[in-house]
Amino acid sequence: MKLTMASSPHNHSHKSLSRLMMTVIAACIPGLIAQVFFFGSAVLIQLVLALITVSACEAAVLQLRKRKVWPTLSDGSAWLTGVLLALSIPPLAPWWIIVIGCMFAIVIVKQLYGGLGFNLFNPAMAAYVLLLVSFPVQMTSWLPVSDLLASPISFSQQLSVIFNGFTSAGFSVDQLRVAIDGTTMATPLDTVKTDVAHHLTVAESMSKPLFNGWFGLGWGWVNLGFLVGGLYLLKANIINWHIPVSFLASLAVCSGIGYIAAPGTEPGVVFHLFSGATMLGAFFIATDPVSASTTNRGRLIYGALIGLLVYLIRTFGGYPDAVAFSVLLLNMAVPLIDYYTKPRTYGHGVK
């Protein structure tokens, strides 16, 4: 009888890479829904564009590298990168923004470093930073929540804006951003930052229609959506608790200290936690296993430092949000962190 030989173990948990990636993508859905609800369905267009671009880029590079295309593409890691990038950019950004971002993320940040598992930086965040630095206008042109828009825009108009730059009626994104009261709307983080710079108190800034008293309209809900998705990932044992918890705790502590020190110019803990990309960053970005720390102690340090950087950049830096920068900076520190946080192996350090 011919028997098959195999190396132990002969059993497997049936966890798979693609299932893992798909679970993470699925966990983005609550946040995505919130975004669609508050900011319009343009984000779905960006999502489709992103998925097409990442698939094409990944396939092309794999072909060039003479790897099997489908087995690698189907692991879903490229799609996850596309999804995260699509969720990060302004929904009405021109189509080439997401295309350039996805190309950069997949071709340069991921595949040129050796493909999945070899990339030093988080591809989505590296692409985000590239776009932010290269196209600051397009990348900061967030619309206010739909309710505040002077003229609500339809899906086809959004499509037109993304591909042509103007709605069928000839409005540009900048014109669309004009709110009911005639002022140009910025993101809550941006608004607070600008107002504080103009010597308004946070309380005064937060009294604007953009806010609901605690945090920016819509943004809070989006963050809440990602929090729910993140908790699901924790529950499903896809991510470890270390990074999100230390990230959020660090941000909360820093903003709390800031608020106590300067209540007039500091928006406080809740605002920081539910503004910008905080929850997306904590559960979906910083936990990217490839570029994050791999030891439990290292993850705590990694998350805490990201939280600290996010707070510092938001408060003292030139950009309104800081998750992408913070994550990239800490990506660079990962090898060092990992090296110094090796767990104690059984039987070592005992007498």
Partner 1 sequence: MEKLIDQIKQGKVWPFPGGIHPPGQKQQSTTQAIARLPLPDKLVVSLKQHIGANGKLIVEKGQQVLKGQALTKPSGNWSVPVHAPTSGLISDICPMPSAHPSALPELSVIIEPDGEDNWCELNPVTDAKALSHDELVDVIHQSGIAGMGGAGFPTYVKADTRKAIEFLIVNAVECEPYITADDMLMREHADGIVAGIELMQQLLSPQLTIIGIEDNKPDAIAAMKQAAQHNDSIIVQTVPTIYPSGGEKQLIKLLTGKEVPSGSIPADIGMLVQNVGTLFAVNQAVYEGKPLIERVVTVTGNTIHKQGNVWALLGTEIKHLLDCQGFSPAPQQRVVMGGPMMGFTLPTVRIGVVKTTNCILAPDHQELAEPGDEKACIRCSACADACPASLLPQQLQWFAKSKEYDKLNEHNLFDCIECGACAYVCPSEIPLVQYYRVAKAEIKEQQAEQIKAERAKERFEARKERLEREQEERQNRHKRKPAAKSDDEKQKVADALARVKAKSDDTDSKSAVAAAIARAKAKKQGAELEPDNSEVAKERAARKEQARKYKEQKALEQGEESVDKDDKKSAVAAAIARAKAKKAAQATESQAEAEEAAPVDDKKAAVAAAIARAKAKKAAQAAESQTVAEADSAPVDDKKAAVAAAIARAKAKKAAQAAENQTEAKEDSAPVDDKKAAVAAAIARAKAKKAAQAAENQTEAEEDSAPVDDKKAAVAAAIARAKAKKAAQAAENQTEAEEDSAPVDDKKAAVAAAIARAKAKKAAKEQAQSDESSEQLDDSSDTDDSKPQVDEPESSEDKKKAAVARAIARAKAKKLQQEGNDKS
DSSP secondary structure string for all residues of 175-208 = HHTBBTTSPBP--HHHHHHHHHHTT--HHHHHTS
State which amino acid sits at residue 182: G
User: Smallest distance from the beta carbon of 19 to partner 1, in angstroms?
Assistant: 7
Shortest separation between residue 55's beta carbon and partner 1, angstroms: 17
Least Å from the CB of residue 73 to partner 1: 12
Diameter over CA atoms, the chain: 85
Q: Which is nearer to partner 1, 111 or 158 (CB)?
A: 111
User: Least distance (Å) from partner 1 to the CB of residue 314?
Assistant: 28
Task: Report the interface residues with partner 1, using CB under 8 A.
Answer: 1, 3-17, 19-20, 71-72, 75, 77, 115-118, 240, 289-290, 292, 294-296, 338, 342-348, 350-351
Given the complex with partner 1, which of 241 and 319 has the nearer CB atom? Answer: 241
Distance between CA atoms of residues 202 and 330, nearest Å = 30
DSSP for 297-333, please give it. HHHHHHHHHHHHHHHHHHHHSSSS--HHHHHHHHHHH
Instruction: Name the minimum Å distance from CB 349 to partner 1.
Output: 9
The two structure tokens encoding residue 288? 């990217």
- Residue 159 sits at φ, ψ, to 5 deg, of -60, -45
End-to-end CA distance of the chain: 51
Is the CB of 198 or the CB of 348 nearer to partner 1?
Answer: 348
**Contact in structure between 71 and 21 (CB atoms under 8 Å):** no
Nearer to partner 1, 23 or 212 (CB): 23
Question: 119 vs 187, which CB is nearer to partner 1?
Answer: 119
